[in-house]
Amino acid sequence: MSGETKQRRSVTSFVLRVLDVVDRVGNKLPHPFWLFVIMSVLVVLASWILSLAHVSVVSPADGKTIGVRSLVSDAGVQMILGDLIKNFVNFPPLGLIVVVMLGVAVADKTGLLPALMRAALAKVPAKLVTFAISLTAMFAQIASDAAFVVMIPLAMIAFRAVGRSPVIGAVVAYVSVGGASSIGLVITGSDAIFAGLTTSAAHTIDPDYLVTPVSNYYFSVASSLLLAVSITVITELVVAKRVAAMNAVEPELTDVEELPDMTLSAAERKGVRRALLAAGAYVALVVLAMVPSGSPLRGEGGSIVNSPLMNNIAVILMLFFMIIGAVYGVTVGTMKSPKDFPDLMGQGLRELVPVLVLFFAVSQFLGYFKWTNIGQVIAISGARALDSLGAQPVVIFIGAVLLISLMNLLLTSGSAMYALVAPVLVPMLMLLHIQPETTQALFRIADAPTNSVTPMSPYFVIALGFIRRYRPSAGVGTLMSLVLPIAVVNLCVWLLMFLAWYGIGLPLGPGVPVR
């Protein structure tokens, strides 16, 4: 065995040992709900201690002294009890995600979203199959967690159809849905959640600040295309060769149970056509409604960027998905009566219940954090420390991305992680004249790539289960070794793209400057 081979195996072994430690430590972490309950208790204790120590800072905005308020006091107890319902009901992401998912549920449960995914991959040329699957999987994120269950088997079918290993298809779909989460060609529930959390965090500095679900849209679209290319290149140069090497030692099974057919029926094709026509008509009507200078959808002075349309984009999206989902459902017969419409919406909300339960714990944690002023004290102190060190934005960006990426190996829920870091990171960077939307874009970069690496993710197990149909000996290390090169390259390429975007000064979304 050559020295180079020994060194490569040593590095691989070290990486797998590190990930094994992450796996064991991560498995000991409580459910995110209990994690935020524990964090809330810690805020109560910290507020008491810091208040006794008379910890305070001077606000750079108005020169007023901001001290830590104790929750272990009459006012604190009254706040904990009296604001419990208000904290939850007024939690910014709550209304946004519920409204958007009401519409997405209709499009998903009628079968439109799965049909669109199948149609996108049905006749893809062999040379483009990797790129097509990657881009389609990013679009599929609109179906939320169901995207993993739908896209992985579809990708395996597509690869097998062109004479390639289904294992490669499973890896491509998995990293494209999980490793490029929260970005895509369309606005999703994640955009609504992130916008709400960023808005809530920004209110620490500016109570009137508003971040909309489209605040990172331009950056997200460009990121989708870049990461689809990155995933394609690394898959062909590294992953495909590694799978081929595995097959040389242990050939894949070929007599496994047949996967579902990807071909659309005549009724489904008709439904997709009508849904696309309905989508075009809806978009055209919205555009036409914006044309008059006095349109109620425009803002002051006829503004389109700062307008009721953009500020209430969640409602526009809800109606969009409801309409195209209903058109498809009526055409193919999955929606037979008006009663089916609210039933489908209810099915979608039932799947959202775990998120709402988590939101309850998160909203209390953020409410305590804000009331005690701990967030402001940390943000102002942190901003002053960075300013005194003369840290340049680029250094801050790289440091934040690397830190969150490492944390994300243990806490894989993007919304839970952002709820944890946003209350400090967003206001702290605002004090350094970095836009909240820019901080949100940074979090997307840090959060997504490592999602696909850690076995802490429940979807890691799902992907591994599909791969084992063709390679029964595959284990956690097998999938990690296939995903890790893509995750590392995606993180580096995506961060470099952001730094270039920031340097040029391109807008992150409609009316949202990057600096």
Query: Which segments within 229-367 are labelled E, that is strand?
Result: none
289 lies in some domain: yes
The SS3 of residue 66 is strand
3-state per-residue secondary structure call for 184-237: CCCCCHHHHHHHHHHHHHHCCCCCCCCCCCCCCHHHHHHHHHHHHHHHHHHHHH
| For the chain, percent of residues with pLDDT exceeding 70 | 83
pLDDT band at 13 (very low <50, low <70, confident <90, very high): low
Residue 265 has pLDDT above 70, yes or no: yes
Helices (H) and strands (E) in the chain, counts: 22, 2
Residue 23 has pLDDT above 60, yes or no: no
The SS3 of residue 306 is coil
**Choice among 52-61, 228-237, 318-327, 407-416 with the minimum mean pLDDT:** 407-416
Neighbours of 146 (CB within 10 A): 18
Count of the separate structural domains present in the chain: 1
Residue 137 has pLDDT above 80, yes or no: yes
Residue 33: half-sphere exposure toward Cβ, Cα within 13 Å: 8
**Choice among 395-404, 413-422, 473-482, 494-503 with the minimum mean pLDDT:** 413-422
Question: What is the model's pLDDT at position 413?
Answer: 61
pLDDT band at 353 (very low <50, low <70, confident <90, very high): confident
Residue 25 has pLDDT above 80, yes or no: no
Between 185 and 202, the more confident residue is 202
d(CA 426, CA 10): 40
2 lies in some domain: no
pLDDT band at 206 (very low <50, low <70, confident <90, very high): confident
- Which residues lie closer than 8 Å to 180 by C-beta, 6 or more apart? 134, 137, 138, 223, 224, 227, 228, 231, 448, 449, 490
Return the closest-CA partner of residue 403 out of 413, 417, 389, 388. 417
| Cα–Cα distance list, 155 to 254, 262, 384 (Å) | 16, 10, 49
181 lies in some domain: yes
Question: What is the model's pLDDT at position 48?
Answer: 93
pLDDT, tens only, 405-452: 877 766 656 667 787 778 878 888 888 888 999 999 998 888 878 878
Q: pTM higher than 0.95, yes or no?
A: no
Residue 249 has pLDDT above 70, yes or no: no
Degrees (nearest 5) of the Cα angle 378, 382, 387?
Answer: 155
5 lies in some domain: no
Between 326 and 263, the more confident residue is 326
d(CA 494, CA 490): 6
CA torsion sign for 336, 341, 346, 347 is positive
**Choice among 4-8, 257-261, 298-302 with the minimum mean pLDDT:** 257-261
Question: What is the model's pLDDT at position 379?
Answer: 72
d(CA 172, CA 160): 13
512 lies in some domain: no
**Choice among 178-182, 231-235, 335-339, 509-513 with the minimum mean pLDDT:** 178-182
Per-position DSSP letters for 476-497, written without gaps between them: HHHHHHHHHHHHHHHHHHHHHH
Computed over every residue of the chain, the mean pLDDT equals: 81
> What Rg do the C-alpha atoms of the chain give, in angstroms?
24
Question: What is the model's pLDDT at position 18?
Answer: 57
Q: Kindly state the average pLDDT of the residues 327-343.
A: 91
515 lies in some domain: no
Range of the domain at 316: 14-504
- Asked if 494 contacts 222 with a C-beta cutoff of 8 angstroms, the reply is no
Assigned token pair, 39: 């964090």
d(CA 152, CA 145): 12
Question: What is the model's pLDDT at position 250?
Answer: 63
Residue 2 has pLDDT above 90, yes or no: no
Residue 486 has pLDDT above 80, yes or no: yes
Residue 3 has pLDDT above 70, yes or no: no
